[in-house]
Amino acid sequence: MHKAPHVFPLVGGRKVEHLHDNIKALSVRLTDDQVKYIESIKSFDLGFPLDFIGEDPRETGQSTPMMESLLGGKIAWKKTSTAMGYI
């Protein structure tokens, strides 16, 4: 959950025990090495429309050529804050 600034898990279950397990799962923290390993197994396909528009410039701080053409020029983007729970 610490890879993006606004991640809200959808909690589902049919028993109270499921809710307790979901709450416990919020304490799981992966190291940078663990995240790199997981991402090295298979790349993630962003899908439409991000595969041609690019990442959110509010996260990267930079516009992509597609965004610049849609917006009519360069914009000075301010990066968003870090993700919830990420240290």
Look up the pTM and report it.
0.43
Q: Where are the domains of the chain?
A: 16-71
Name the pLDDT band for 81 (thresholds 50, 70, 90).
low
Lowest mean pLDDT among 19-28, 56-65, 78-87: 78-87
The answer to whether the beta carbons of residues 77 and 58 sit under 8 Å apart is yes
Average pLDDT over residues 43-63: 72
- pLDDT attached to residue 47: 75
CA separation for the pair 73, 4 (Å, rounded): 26
